[in-house]
């Protein structure tokens, strides 16, 4: 099986090690991994802000980049949802967009639903983890159980978190268009954060926002993308 | 009502800064309602209920002209006087005429968002009519001279201490009066108003076309009194509030109550069948004013009409993490929160409301809550797209998006940008964006090397 990785711009720039972890993990599970060099951004920031012309041209070039791929896997829930759910709104009736949507998966979704893997290893034994459900992974992709299953089966303790399914306030341009509201939302999220060793999520944007806010408040916690932890689950 | 939606970003920021108590009060109340809704949805096949309710409403809206005619006929058969109001001015004319003919000096009102929309209170006051809001929350904000902060709980932004202070200055109650004592004072004042008012005003949760039945849901009993004690009852009904058949209520009453407050049914449901007959108690005259105010035009908007399914249950507000931070006032119109963000542009146009569709992170919690499955995130995206098409996006945003997409169009520019991020000064256009980000979160720290560079090392 061959998988083309779509690392997406935010992870590429800010969580590069999550990309590395994704490659190592997929290879360890016997999957061949490609990284099409021409890839950039899925177009989500422009799309969500209403700039559909710009988003459309980025969607079209992404379609071209991944035309040949058997599967496309992203370590990002919201970018996966962009490709899976929104490309067709931008490009109604586009057959390639429809096909790409069917072949595209967020990483944990791919592991559980396509590879049928529910246990990676025991590398996270005893680790206390707080899992933030990225909204698009949760409500647009329906990825709720997969990350929890993989984390729990690797020996980690996923701590109960009252606000685990609440939006953190990132929302792409929302965080700069309405900075005060965005920060108030992050604060609410962080005020209920349990005493964990690691905070994780499928989404780089949410993590960037939450970890930045935590730092500003002088709080410290290890904040890493889910892909990084899943590789640790495997490799120990 | 005056529209101040354009100020949303400023007002939201100001409220967070100046009235942090609002955030606590609203968060507490909405989380409570939201937990109630979730529990109440779990008790039933909520998915099936919502789908069914959506279909009924879609059927109604796609045959609205027929059902409106039927409703008018049935209402008239019951002795109800039916009026049509295209806009607030026409609604005012109708009300003014009733007030003059019946010599109304005092009116009691049930909570109604549509009458807020129409500015009924200011009109009555201008006519020299004393108006009493009889829903406790609505009464509180009337005393304060504020608009409602929430569709269902107009005063949820107030803390007990705010109400204690208000009643102290108005009625001389002690500053530490208990909620019971405060309610007793309100009850005394309102009882007097009920008994002496010549006019009762309400909205409507539903109007059943098949039978001409006006349906009102409430928990305090005040609506029942407002529609039964005064000699004249006027109900303002948005034309989208119809239901085709009486038996649709079997679905819509429990669904609305569950969505709004987590109740299985509201405490009181009134089914009003016209004025009192010989020997019955009740109003001599019942008027139904069917109000358009932008709804027909919205119904003909193929991308935005679905918002007219709305039952005004407020579930989307309770579920919305953005609304929770500020309550409803910064949105600057009657309808706030997620529904306001897609209904207000539909009713008033984007010119006056365009920041509202941006008052969301598109998290989707509103859609999950909505009893009639209004695709609020999709509608938000539609209004945003139109805002950009109409040139309403701010200059810096347009420049930033254009620069961004130019970079992302070309892998070699992207590589250059990637290098720049790790050393070079950033392009000017991006600065406002960057500043807004870093102020609350500290500087951006890119990975030492981007993944596309690490990939070269992984390949071997
Ligand atoms: S949009 Fe849906 S959830 Fe919101 S008030 Fe209307 S019916 Fe209720």
Predicted confidence at residue B426, as pLDDT, reads 61
pLDDT tens for A21-62 read 999 999 999 999 999 999 999 999 999 999 999 999 999 999
Residues 6 or more apart whose CB falls under 8 angstroms from that of B26 comprise: B149, B150, B156, B157, B323, B324, B325, B326, B327
Exposed / middle / buried, residue A2 (Cβ in 10 Å: 0-12, 13-18, 19+): exposed
Cβ contact A16:B449 at 8 Å: yes
Average pLDDT of every residue of chain B: 96
> What's the gap in Å between A12 CA and the centre of ligand 1?
39
> Is residue B427 scored above 70 in pLDDT?
no
Q: How far apart are CA A179 and CA B429, in angstroms?
A: 18
Tens of pLDDT, residue by residue over B431-454, are 777 888 888 999 888 999 999 999
Q: How far is A150 from chain B (nearest CA, A)?
A: 24
The packing angle between helices A179-191 and B431-441, to 10°, is: 30
What is the average pLDDT across B385-389? Answer: 98
Checking if the pLDDT of A175 tops 60, the result is yes
Q: Does residue A191 carry a pLDDT above 80?
A: yes
Whether B208 and B249 have beta carbons less than 8 Å apart is answered as yes
Predicted complex ipTM: 0.96
Atom number, ligand 1, closest to the C-alpha of residue B260: 8
Note the pLDDT tens digit of each residue in B217-263.
999 999 999 999 999 999 999 999 999 999 999 999 999 999 999 99
Q: How far is CA B140 from CA A191, B143, B145, B162, in A?
A: 31, 5, 9, 10
- Put simply, the chain B residues between 5 and 34 with a CB less than 8 A from any chain A CB are 9, 12-13, 16-17, 23, 27
- Residue B393, pLDDT > 70, answer yes
Res A188: pLDDT: 96
> Taking 70 as the threshold, does the pLDDT of residue B428 lie above it?
no
Of A12, A139, A169, the CB nearest to B452: A12
Q: Taking CA atoms, what residue in B is nearest to A182?
A: B322
User: For position B296, what pLDDT does the model report?
Assistant: 98
Say how many Å lie between the CA of residue B448 and the centre of ligand 1. Answer: 46
pLDDT in tens, A55-114: 999 999 999 999 999 999 999 999 999 999 999 999 999 999 999 999 999 999 999 999
Q: Do B362 and A135 touch (CB under 8 A)?
A: yes
- Sheet harboring B199-202: ordered strands across? B81-85, B285-291, B232-238, B199-202, B106-109, B130-133
Query: B424 pLDDT exceeds 70?
Result: no
CB contact under 8 A, A41 and B408: yes
> Would you place residue B1 in the very low, low, confident or very high pLDDT band (cuts 50, 70, 90)?
confident
**C-alpha B244 – ligand 1 centre gap (Å):** 19
Q: For testing the chain A interface, which of B440, B442, B452 should be mutated: the one with the most A CBs within 10 Å?
A: B440
What is the nearest CA distance from B39 to chain A, expressed in angstroms? 15
B158-217 per-position pLDDT tens digit: 999 999 999 999 999 999 999 999 999 999 999 999 999 999 999 999 999 999 999 999
Contact B96, B218 (CB under 8 A): no
Residues 6+ apart with CB under 8 A from B284: B231, B232, B275, B276
Q: Which residue has the higher pLDDT, B357 or B439?
A: B357
Nearest atom of ligand 1 to the alpha carbon of B311: 7
Q: B460 CB near a chain A CB, below 8 Å?
A: no
For residue B187, which phi and psi values (nearest 5 degrees)?
-60, -40
């Amino acid at each position: 099986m061959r998988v083309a990785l779509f690392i997406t711009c935010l992870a590429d720039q800010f969580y590069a090690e999550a990309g590395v972890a994704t490659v190592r993990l997929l290879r360890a599970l016997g999957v061949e991994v490609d990284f099409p060099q021409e890839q950039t951004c899925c177009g989500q920031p422009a799309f969500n802000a209403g700039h559909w012309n710009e988003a459309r041209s980025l969607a079209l070039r992404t379609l071209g980049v991944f035309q040949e791929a058997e599967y496309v896997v992203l370590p990002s829930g919201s970018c996966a949802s962009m490709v899976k759910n929104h490309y067709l709104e931008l490009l109604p009736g586009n057959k390639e967009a429809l096909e790409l949507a069917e072949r595209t998966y967020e990483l944990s979704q791919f592991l559980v639903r396509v590879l049928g893997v529910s246990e990676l290893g025991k590398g996270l034994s005893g680790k206390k983890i707080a899992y933030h459900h990225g909204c698009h992974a949760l409500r647009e992709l329906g990825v709720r159980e997969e990350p929890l299953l993989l984390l729990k089966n690797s020996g980690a303790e996923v701590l109960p978190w009252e606000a685990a399914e609440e939006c953190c306030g990132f929302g792409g341009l929302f965080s700069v268009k309405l900075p005060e509201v965005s920060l108030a939302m992050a604060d609410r999220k962080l005020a209920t954060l349990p005493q964990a060793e690691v905070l994780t999520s499928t989404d780089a944007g949410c993590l960037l926002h939450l970890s930045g806010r935590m730092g500003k408040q002088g709080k410290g916690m290890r904040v890493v993308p889910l892909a990084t932890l899943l590789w640790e689950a495997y490799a120990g | 009502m005056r529209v101040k939606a354009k100020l949303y970003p400023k007002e939201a920021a100001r409220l967070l800064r100046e009235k942090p108590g609002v955030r606590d009060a609203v968060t507490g109340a909405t989380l409570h309602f939201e937990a109630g809704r979730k529990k109440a949805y779990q008790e039933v096949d909520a998915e099936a209920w919502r789908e069914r309710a959506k279909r009924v409403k879609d059927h109604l809206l796609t045959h609205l002209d027929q059902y409106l005619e039927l409703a008018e006929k049935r209402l008239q058969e019951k002795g109800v006087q039916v009026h049509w109001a295209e806009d607030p001015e026409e609604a005012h004319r109708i009300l003014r005429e009733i007030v003059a003919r019946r010599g109304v000096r005092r009116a009691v009102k049930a909570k109604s968002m549509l009458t807020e929309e129409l500015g009924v209170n200011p009109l009555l006051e201008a006519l020299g009519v004393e108006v009493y809001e009889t829903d406790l929350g609505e009464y509180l904000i009337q005393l304060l001279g504020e608009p409602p902060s929430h569709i269902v709980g107009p005063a949820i932004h107030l803390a007990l201490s705010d109400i204690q202070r208000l009643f102290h200055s108005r009625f001389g109650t002690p500053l530490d009066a208990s909620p019971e004592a405060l309610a007793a004072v309100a009850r005394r004042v309102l009882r007097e108003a009920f008994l002496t008012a010549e006019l009762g005003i309400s909205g409507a949760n539903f109007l059943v076309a098949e039978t001409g039945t006006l349906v009102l849901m409430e928990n305090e009993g005040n609506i029942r009194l407002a529609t039964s004690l005064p000699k004249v009852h006027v109900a303002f009904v948005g034309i989208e509030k119809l239901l085709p058949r009486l038996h649709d209520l079997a679905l819509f009453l429990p669904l609305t109550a569950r969505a709004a407050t987590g109740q299985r049914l509201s405490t009181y449901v009134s089914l009003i069948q016209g004025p009192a007959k010989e020997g019955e108690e009740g109003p001599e005259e019942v008027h139904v004013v069917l109000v358009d105010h932008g709804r027909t035009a919205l119904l003909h908007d193929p991308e935005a009409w679905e918002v007219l399914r709305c039952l005004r249950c407020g579930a989307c507000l309770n579920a919305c993490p953005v609304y929770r931070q500020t309550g409803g006032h910064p949105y600057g119109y009657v309808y706030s929160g997620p529904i306001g963000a897609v209904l207000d542009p539909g009713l008033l146009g984007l010119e006056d409301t365009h920041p509202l569709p941006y008052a969301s992170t598109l998290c989707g919690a509103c859609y999950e809550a909505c009893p009639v499955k209004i695709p609020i995130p999709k509608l938000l995206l539609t209004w945003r797209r139109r805002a950009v098409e109409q040139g309403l996006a701010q200059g810096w945003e347009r420049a930033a998006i254009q620069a961004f997409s130019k970079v992302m169009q070309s892998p070699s520019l992207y590589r250059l940008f990637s290098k720049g991020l790790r050393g070079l000064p950033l392009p000017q256009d991006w600065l406002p964006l960057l500043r807004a980000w870093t102020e609350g979160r500290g500087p951006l720290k890119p990975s030492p090397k981007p993944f596309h560079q690490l990939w070269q090392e992984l390949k071997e």
